[in-house]
Structure formats: structure tokens, C-alpha cells
Structure 1
């Protein structure tokens, strides 16, 4: 696993997510209750950007068609055939890192 810096802790407000690119791979990073989480940015339904979706607690809602995912597990909450990859996140000082295979 390789660890990549994606942003500073102050770059994401509480309850906010955003899209970042790491080595050509789009990753969505979220801040919920002071903890950072990361998933693949790509919704398996129609490719919507989860980083630009709406967060409701630890649920990200795809902006295209409303598919919902648990950001802690990647599980799709409204379609058993869909899920997204999740990634380990660490914070060192004020920097947020995501581990990718």
C-alpha cells in the first residue's frame, strides 16, 4: 500500500466531501465528526462523482440519481448489487493521507 497526501484537514469542512485525483485515480474524501473517510469517487450506477454528492451523516448520496453509500464500508444502501471501494485514511498533523494499493 502506498500512502498519498490528498489535502489539509482545513480543506474539508465538517460534513463535506470532495474529489481528488491520485495517480490518475479519482478518490472522494469526506470529513464527518472530525474523522476523514475515503471511497472511490465513481458511482457504479452511472458514474456520478461521489465527492460532489451530498453527505447525510456517514451516507454519501450520488448527485446524479440518488444512490446512497455508507462511506465507512462502501456498501450501497439502496441497491445490493452496488458498492464502492473504501480506502484507509490517516491524518498526520494537518495533512490527510489516503492509502492505495
Structure 2
């Protein structure tokens, strides 16, 4: 079932920051960039790193584990890992690049709502 779930108050998330909310066992990342809010799975699709513990630069989130990067506007891969050479080739063979799942976000009555399924 697809539904919007309240995850936080607007005042709880400053510009340029992220937070993680656990919704029915699903970790959801919420980020604020200016007046825009973005939602995505909190776990990196590369190796499961905690994205809310990573770095946010504009709409690009960097995983703290292997430095994979994703654009929160649509989840596309910016960088699969910062590895190089044979290590990068092997990483792409065993775990091919795939986008971060994003979630629609809406603001209603000073609350942040995220669509989950």
C-alpha cells in the first residue's frame, strides 16, 4: 500500500541537513536543500552504508562507507565508489551500479510527509 507518512516537522530540518526516519522498519532519508525537501532510502544500494551519516552537497549525497554518490532529485548514480583500477572493475562486476530509490515528499501544515510503499 502506498501512502504518505509524517516523518518530521519542518522546523526540525535546517537547510543543508539530513535526517533518518524509521517507518515500519524502513529507513527513510529526508534532506532539505533551500526550500526543497527530498526523500530516499537511507541505505546505500552499493554496500548498505547509512546515507544519513554521509555528506550532503546541494542535492548530492555521499555515502560515508565507500563514497558512492547519488542525486536526491531522482536517485541517479553520480559515482558508484571512489575506488579505482581493478578494485573498481571488480566492484562493478559483483555489484553493478544502480540508482538510489527516491520517495515523493510533500509539506503540509508545517510537517514533512514522505510517500512510502
TM-score tier after normalising by the smaller chain length? over 0.9
With normalisation by structure 1, the TM-score equals: 0.94
Unpaired segments ≥5 residues, structure 1: none
Aligned to 1:35: 36
Q: State the alpha-carbon separation in 2 of the partners of residues 85 and 45 from structure 1.
A: 12
Does the aligned pair in 2 maintain the 1:19–1:49 contact within 8 Å?
A: no
SS of alignment partner, residue 77 of structure 1: strand
Aligned to 2:5: 4
Shift of 1:82: 2.4
Unpaired segments ≥5 residues, structure 2: 81-95
Q: State yes or no: 1:55 paired with 2:71.
A: no
Q: Whose helix proportion is higher, 1 or 2? A: 2
Runs of 4+ in 1 over 4 A off after TM superposition: none
Describe the superposition over 1:6-32 as per-residue Cα deviations: whole angstroms up to 9, x where unpaired: 000111110001111111100000000
Shift of 1:65: 1.4
Q: State the alpha-carbon separation in 2 of the partners of residues 60 and 71 from structure 1.
A: 7
Does the aligned pair in 1 maintain the 2:46–2:97 contact within 8 Å?
A: no
Larger Rg: 2
Q: How does 1:54-93 map to 2 (within 5 A)?
A: 54-79=55-80, 81-93=97-109
Q: Provide the alpha-carbon RMSD of the alignment.
A: 1.1
Aligned residues: 101
With normalisation by structure 2, the TM-score equals: 0.82
